[in-house]
Amino acid sequence: NDTFNQKDKATQVRLSNIMAAKAVADAIRTSLGPRGMDKMIYGKEVVISNDGATILKHMSVLHPAARMLVDLSAAQDVEAGDGTTSVVVLAGSLLTAAQKLLKKGVHPTQIAEGFQRAAAEAVKILEDIAIPVNLDNREALLKSATTSLSSKVVAQYSNVLAPIVVDSVLRVVNMEHNVDISDIRIVKKIGGTIDDTELVPGLVLNQNVIPGGPTRVEKAKIGLIQFQLSPPKPDMDNQVVVNDYRQMDRILKEERAYLLNLVKQIKKAGCNVLLIQKSILRDAVNSLSLHFLAKLKIMAIKEVERDEIEFICKATGCKPIADIDSFTEDKLGTADLVEEIESDGSRIVQISGIKNAGKTASIIMRGANQYVLDEAERSIHDALCVIRCLVKKRALIVGGGAPEIEVSLRLNELAKAQADSICFQAFADAMEVIPTTLAENTGLSPIAIVTELRNRHANGEKTAGINVRKGMISDMQQENVIQPLLVTTSAIELATETVRMLMKIDDILASR
């Protein structure tokens, strides 16, 4: 019965788990807030990012407990889209608090349950201080988008990007007040600066028009085909030996007739813009069929990716056509104009004036190099998610560490009436990590700032937070630093959940 009485092993396992998870949290702690730094991760490719979920996704993390924090930030990315750094920093802080409680001899299960109750109270407190928002209130939406962009590389362009983000989300809101982010397409083009990013009415394609045919078509009928315009191939590789020149001629004639027949059928249905899906088995198009298409004044665009099909169908109202026999007019989408435009040295195809268009939006993004573009895309994605959160749950809270301090103060008040008040107090102190980190990253004295913040909140200034730009404490509502309620509540719930899981583990065993 010796093994059962060994209590020190469980303690060591918990300590090792907490250490590993805290190491991950400390690694990305410096990238929190508007003055946060970026991380550069290199492996097969170089990624430069400030987004917590992206950094952790690319980091090679070996310890299983530390992996849970990677999953945690991915969960926050799915749930709220923003606050991926905060959620990991918060989890790290809760683990530190739990470690102190363990040293005092509090039972792990008690810590886990105490934290769970404290988290539920914290969410109630946040809902209590939240400000309801209406979707018609464009100002509030713009402010939230700007706040989300403020901690990213593209912060100085937020006056350009915030309106784009708000408009594109409002464009794709459906009846049930839900937003599918995949309905917003971001086309990245190198050249120009981020200032040149624009929201385009209609649809933008990354592919270029095949030269030879028309590059501008008015009153377009758009067909999207998933079959190939090239001579058919048998399933197996085989060779046919032709020893007579006349037979050779017949084969070539046959090929021409076959292709001409296909193209004529397409023309007959009234289609004058043809999108051709990428093909794996054989060439999607060959030069002969392209020649025929150009002759019949049909604009052709090839290399349409498989995952773009659904979006294109939704945007243009056309249906994908898998077989030439089902190529009929009712499957075509209609638009006023399809043209290839060249700007900043790169070409794009723009489809505008689409008749029965679905709810989609296209954003053309420009930037100096690939890294800037990728990071800008991630920033816009975060901002889109912030507006999506507001559509889902229409309430705002202020930022700048204000809600965290408020929660901390009120939980400390509640703790006095609780049986496990020690867990409540630990949770309340752990919440202060967000304002502390903000102050550290800004280069202010965390102790002075957080003490001053507590003082202001105790005197009833619920919206006092850290003003990173001026390096002092000010009213966050007047500074327009606001964020959706969903981002913070989901961060607290998810972080507490993860910490509870780590607390319950008392042994690590290898699988065979």
Residues belonging to the active site: 51, 84-85, 382
Query: What is the phi/psi pair of residue 336, to 5°?
Result: -70, -35
Strands (E), 154-272: 184-190, 198-200, 203-205, 216-225
Query: What is the phi/psi pair of residue 232, to 5°?
Result: -65, 150
Could you tell me the two tokens for 267?
A: 């023309």
Q: Do residues 272 and 263 touch, judged by C-beta distance below 8 A?
A: no
Q: Which residues contact 62 (CB under 8 A, 6 or more apart)?
A: none
Q: How many Å apart are CA 198 and CA 363, to the nearest integer? A: 6
Residue type at position 42? Y
Q: Which residue is listed with tokens 């396992």?
A: 13
Q: Do residues 99 and 18 touch, judged by C-beta distance below 8 A?
A: yes
Planar angle of CA 418, 427, 393, nearest 5 degrees:
100
Q: How many Å apart are CA 364 and CA 282, to the nearest integer? A: 32
Could you tell me the two tokens for 80?
A: 């709220």
Q: Please count the other Cβ atoms lying within 10 Å of the Cβ belonging to residue 137.
A: 14
